[in-house]
A and B are shown apart, each in its own frame.
Chain A
């Protein structure tokens, strides 16, 4: 987290909380690129766990798997999605089976899917930015 760029010129997609990212990483875009890489490497297994717990009707595992992915969105600056996960966790505590939150689950699933695309796009932009800076 020490390689500072000379100018803070990287422009994030507006879905990303730029100030929040800056509070975590400063303007170390190389490290940020590593973060995006790590997140994308783990993304599939994290989302698989969510899908599996929902389809197997295990509410505790579903809440736990959403809880697990929640900070990932914070680490990449998608704070709105992080908050959405938090809300979903709360909803999980108010129902008796995953069937009762089918609508909420569909919304969450879409957000998680869209987030992956956003992270992938942003990672590509970061790679280009960092290669131009080096």
Chain B
């Protein structure tokens, strides 16, 4: 077993099928099945898992509301009967999207999407700089020179220590996997910050050289883990 997961699904036949797929794969340990967000949240308040198989439309709160409330960032595979959630899925960095019912082969493809990202991260984590393409040229930015990166739709803005701003065509989701994990952390779906540059933190805000950066509930625990709190 390499991944722990929970299933959040109110349709029993779908939950049973998913559990069978997990067992058959030999790669996923199912630590619980919950039929609503409240029960799942109660479990996740005192447990962490690598992966959540998440239905969207359930009685009470919907699946995305669960993601808003948990204090860590597990991988998420949506299991739904509807394709209208693609935009939200993107916003919440969902790894894949399984339309019920799905075949075992499709299930395994979704699992494959989760495993490789760890390699990508380690490959890039040692680098002390990045190159960005802006104004028709490649510019080298040392990690030390970057304060934070902010999403601007299909573009991102790099803000540097000398007050410069570089805008380039990219996404926070893509950059999260490419920047050095020693320096950078995603603190919100629209922000990656240089951990070495944080001046202070109050409630759900980080302050970096006078810039106010929001911290999402989902990323707050990661921030605390990475700060050198004594």
Contacts and interface: CB of A to CB of B under 8 A. Distances in A.
Asked if chains A and B come from one complex, the reply is yes
Interface of A: 1-2, 23-24, 31, 34-35, 38-39, 41-42, 64, 67-68, 70-72, 74-75
Determine the main DSSP class of A at the interface with B: helix
Contact of B20 (A1, A42, A74): A1
A35 B21 CA distance: 14
B92 interface: no
Nearest to B15: A38
Nearest to B99: A71
Interface in B1-35: 10-14, 16-17, 20, 24
Contact of A42 (B11, B57, B81, B103): B11
Nearest to A77: B101
Contacts of A74: 100-101
Contacts of B103: 23-24
Given A64-B57, A71-B101, A2 B24 contact: yes
Interface string B93-106: 00000001101100
Contacts of B81: 67-68, 70-71
Given A24-B17, A31-B20, A72-B13, 5 more contacts: A2-B24, A24-B104, A38-B13, A67-B81, A75-B100
